[in-house]
Amino acid sequence: MPCQHPLPRLQDHVVADSICTADAAGARAARYPAYRAGLDWLRDFITQPHDGLNRPGAVCPFVGPALQRGLVTFAIGRAEGCEARDAFAAMAPLREVFAAMGPTEAPARALRSLVVFFPDLPAERAGGFIDGGHRLLKPHFIEAGQMIGEFHPASTVPGSTNPGFHPMRAPVPAFVIREMSFHDTRFIALPDEDPARRAQYLARYLDYLGPALPARHRAQAEALLAAARAELAAI
């Protein structure tokens, strides 16, 4: 079953016949068992409330609407090895691919996402590949106004509202690419991030979202950027 929106060049960087929208993924689960696990994860965890969040609503409130509109794409990734550099080599080309994926008009553009699973990673190497790869990939994607999320079974990434909650745990190692959004200061202005990198991210956030950024979010980002630059000046 073909995907419902254009995927230029994606087939050159992932397993070509694995590409489909999430609503078509169930039909491919016999060939790609990761898709069944991935669908269950999205529907039973990511789109549901959780006591560990310390806030109302779903773990990610945007995934449910994206699934309903057929805007979540699945693919199986290809990697030459299990190191962080292999994750970068596998995922970095998808920045331009994702930028060209439809739909390109708001508001649907803000909901689209690409989930790339790596089901063949040995369990003991998944953390190094996904978390290490994410450290390399994050600045690459933010530069293009995109966010990349890192998911694997043993993730220890803390939740933004509860450090004891681990929202990035998933049954199959995966990266998720999506458009940068207003709420992303919580992910790009992490206090343990290098202040130079923090300032770089926040400046790109302000530039990329531009006049569409609500005043409250702009003021928050500008204050965080000023703090990061002050921290840099004090070093």
Predicted local distance difference test score (pLDDT) of residue 134 = 98
Whether 47 and 63 have beta carbons less than 8 Å apart is answered as yes
Distance CA 25, CA 29 (A): 6
Residue 54 falls in which region: left (phi positive, over 0), alpha (psi -120 to 50) or beta = left
Predicted local distance difference test score (pLDDT) of residue 122 = 96
Segment-wise mean pLDDT, segments of 10 residues, the chain, 235 residues:
58 95 96 98 96 92 95 97 98 96 85 97 96 98 97 95 93 98 92 93 96 94 96 92
Predicted local distance difference test score (pLDDT) of residue 1 = 47
> Looking at residue 101, what DSSP letter applies?
P
**Of 172, 123, 133, whose CA–CA distance to 152 is shortest?**
172
Work out the angle at residue 175's Cα, subtended by the Cα atoms of residues 23 and 83, and round it to the nearest 5 degrees: 145
Distance of CA 136 to the CA centre of its chain: 14
Distance CA 90, CA 138 (A): 14
pTM (predicted TM-score): 0.93
Predicted local distance difference test score (pLDDT) of residue 103 = 86
Domain boundaries along the sequence of the chain: 10-179, 182-235
Predicted local distance difference test score (pLDDT) of residue 226 = 97
Q: How many CA atoms lie within 13 A of 176 on its CB side?
A: 23
Predicted local distance difference test score (pLDDT) of residue 4 = 52
